[in-house]
Amino acid sequence: MIREGNGEHTNVPDPMGNSGPKGAPDDAEQKPQSATSASANASAKTSTAPSLKPKRIKKSYGPSDPALAALDSLDEEDSPDHWLDPLTDENASRRSLINSIVQETFGQPIFVARRIWSFINTSPGKMTLMTVIISVAIAAAGYAMSVSSDNRQANLDELITNAEPISYNAHVLYTSLSVADTTATTGFVQAGVEGPVNRVKYHTAIERAAVAATHTATSADTSDEKLMELVLEIQRQLPVYTGLVETARANNRAGNPVSVAYMSEASSMMRNDILPKASELYNMTSRNVSDQQRAVTRPQWIPLSGLVAALGMLIIGQWWLMRVTRRRINKGFALATILMLTATMWVSAANWATWQAGTRGFEEASGPLNSMTTARIYAQQTRTTETLSLVRRQSIQGSGTGFAATINQIKRALDEYETTTNSQSPEHQAIITDIRNAMANWTAEHEQFTVLLERGDYNGAVNAVLSSDDNDQTSFDVLDTALAELIADSRSSMRSYIQSGLQATSLVSVTVMILSLAAVLAVWIGIRPRLQEYL
């Protein structure tokens, strides 16, 4: 060992027995080895030291930071403890942005909703909520009934101003065409020149038919292709028919036998082509009127159930309010109940009146109207068959069944008409009596006519069914006139029933809306003192 002191080196014996100078070289050899080992360890530590990722740090702190200047030479590979680096995940930033947006968007509404829910859990909150619900129910029920009544009134008005007139025009077209054909054949077989009365009757029937066809076409819905097709076809064929009739008359005045062929062709065209189309048109429009009538007079079950539900909610609300406030009657709620009960009863009465007048009354009037119209057309066609047999001067065998069917049809129509209320009046009873007498006389005349025609007594057959005087009425004329009067009366009754249904709904819309608004106001006036008790 070497001991330093006073600048001199003194050799001190080693306790282990080794002399100092001898061990000195060993120390000198070990020092370089230690330095080499330390350098190697430092190099190893340097290689295993945490390698900061310059790119990752730059993303966190920015590329211009001075502290990053020394990181340019660092290794780019991740170190085992790279999880200690600052979190810079883009998904996390996006989630943070979404959370902030959601918070800003729904935070305030959620807060308000919680405040409202807290208020609803209190007694005044429950009262307020109950009042709001009842008010909405009353207003909704009143509005629905008001709109429904408005629509019903508009549909009834459309029925009486458009649909029914179209059906009536189709009826006029149908009957006028039949009258024209019967009148034309009757005038053709009259002795000598056709009388002026018969000619005027024919031209009047043709004119009425043309006007009725025009009114039907202009009033009907153009989207109804079938109806428009029927009307246009009748309008196209009618001039052809009148042309054939005038040609037959001209040849008849000239004494040309070909007149019979023209008249037969004209009558065949009317009975086989034009009248079936007119009958189909009349049936279509009649069904349309009946369908619309049933639709608009059906009870308003859904809006009426809304009024009943609102009335029930008012009663339940008063019962709950009575238990909460320990008061038996709330004047505002009681007034609202009376108002809604009045509205419900008003609507129920109007529905009953509309159904009674529009359904039962309409069916009572429309049934005889259709049957009487059919009976009149049958009678006119039977009359045309009689006159055509005179024109052709041929036997009428086989027409007896048709005549009997016509008489039975008239009897059924009279029986149906006698079940109506209007038939009980003395005036209508007199008309029914005239029809039955005319049927009996016409039946007797037809039997005589058939016998005379079978014998070949043409003049006798003509006198049996036709009047010698142009101004005198035959049994058929009396029958046809009386049937026309009953048809007009049935139509008038049907329109009066529709009008009654329209009047029954005229004030429902406004009245129900006013009563509903008054009930809502009464509910809030009634609940106000109870809410003030909590202030």
Q: Which two tokens stand for residue 142?
A: 């009143």
Kindly report the pTM of this predicted structure: 0.69
Identify the CA nearest to 232 among candidates 278, 194, 163: 278
* Residue boundaries of the structural domains of the chain: 1-30, 136-532
Low-confidence ranges of the chain (pLDDT < 70): 1-95, 190-194, 358, 395-401, 467-472
CA distance 176 to 173: 5
pLDDT at 6: 42
pLDDT at 473: 76
Q: Which two tokens stand for residue 408?
A: 């039975």
CA distance 149 to 124: 37
Residues 185, 391 contacting (CB under 8 angstroms): yes
pLDDT digit string, tens, across residues 234-266: 999 999 999 999 999 888 888 888 888 998 899
Sign for the CA dihedral angle at 251, 253, 256, 261 comes to positive
pLDDT at 81: 53
pLDDT at 4: 41
Burial class (CB in 10 A: 0-12, 13-18, 19+), 173: buried
pLDDT at 523: 94
pLDDT at 191: 55
328 to each of 317, 318, 320, 323, how far by Cα in Å? Answer: 12, 8, 10, 8
pLDDT at 7: 41
Identify the CA nearest to 403 among candidates 428, 380, 431, 427: 380
Q: Which two tokens stand for residue 59?
A: 């993303």
pLDDT at 292: 85
